[in-house]
Amino acid sequence: MNRLRAVIADDEPLARARVARLLGAIGAVDVVASCTTGNDVVAAVNATDPDVVFLDIDMPGLDGFRALDALPPDRQPRVVFVTAYSEHAVQAFDVQALDYVLKPVSDERLRAAVERVRASVNAAMSGAPGANAHVDAHERFAQRISVPQGLRIILVPVEDIDYVSAHANYVELHTVERSYLLRGTLAGILARLDPSRFLRVHRSRIVRVEAVAEVEPQPSGQYLLRLRSGVRIGSGCRHREQIRDRLGLR
């Protein structure tokens, strides 16, 4: 496994330390710079050419978005935003961020973000169409998922997938017509899906945002999502803020 070169940018020392500690536990990630301001980010990216920047938004001087604007087009890094502000998610994906992680950062959530980065790096190394190392991030996400079926391989378009559920060492892709069982992990599938179109709502479930028709708040603070197909999916507590932001529930 190739090691990733990462820059961490956050004006809070404890936040930087937490991300660095979690990356260390995930493994095969080298933190090549730790930044406290947007100006530091610009200097670090130019000096180290990292694979990814774990970037806060609210920082002294240049904020995260302005720091990216200050970099030339050929030096734009892969970006995973790590922030307490969920309202900037749409803008983050407009600048082609690979992921948007809300604080407090969990090991599971950061691990999924790192898998997205690895998928992007691997695509660039393989010379896949549209897999430039620094730009056009959305073009690197899967358009179809390959599912072995005996001697055949079925290609499932991602726009047909309403939701994905995890079962031990397998994931199940659910479309309106049928379901497909595939060996793998939910985090692995999530890393292949465009984060502007798919949302993890539970530790074992992902939904396609456009497939959600209704949202019913629960007394526990969780949500019951009704898809256009009629399927009902319960959310998990740790995904509450992401759901509220992405589905416009604030």
Residue pointed to by tokens 């019913």: 216
Predicted local confidence at residue 135, as pLDDT: 42
DSSP for 38-92 reads HHHHHHHHHHH--SEEEE-SS-SSS-HHHHHHTS-GGGPPEEEEEES-GGGHHHH
Q: Give the pLDDT band (50/70/90) at residue 90.
A: low
Q: What is the pLDDT of residues 158-189, one digit of tens each?
A: 999 999 999 888 999 999 999 999 888 888 88
Determine the Cα angle at 222 with ends 221 and 224, to 5°: 135
Average pLDDT of span 225-236: 95
Mean pLDDT across the chain, nearest whole number?
A: 88
Q: What is the pLDDT of residues 23-53, one digit of tens each?
A: 999 999 999 999 999 999 999 999 999 999 9
Query: Could you tell me if 95 and 76 are in contact, meaning their C-beta atoms sit under 8 angstroms apart?
Result: no
Q: Which two structure tokens, joined as six digits, stand for 80?
A: 């995973």
Predicted local confidence at residue 131, as pLDDT: 45
Query: Could you tell me if 235 and 243 are in contact, meaning their C-beta atoms sit under 8 angstroms apart?
Result: yes
23 phi and psi angles, rounded to 5 deg: -65, -40
Q: What is the pLDDT of residues 134-164, one digit of tens each?
A: 444 444 577 888 888 877 888 899 999 999 9
Q: What is the set of domains in the chain, with CATH numbers?
A: 4-138 (3.40.50.2300), 141-246 (2.40.50.1020)
pTM (global) more than 0.85: no
Q: What is the pLDDT of residues 101-128, one digit of tens each?
A: 989 999 989 999 999 899 888 887 776 5
Query: Could you tell me if 148 and 134 are in contact, meaning their C-beta atoms sit under 8 angstroms apart?
Result: no
- 15: pLDDT strictly greater than 90: yes
Query: Could you tell me if 142 and 189 are in contact, meaning their C-beta atoms sit under 8 angstroms apart?
Result: no
Q: Which two structure tokens, joined as six digits, stand for 211?
A: 């497939």
72 phi and psi angles, rounded to 5 deg: -65, 160
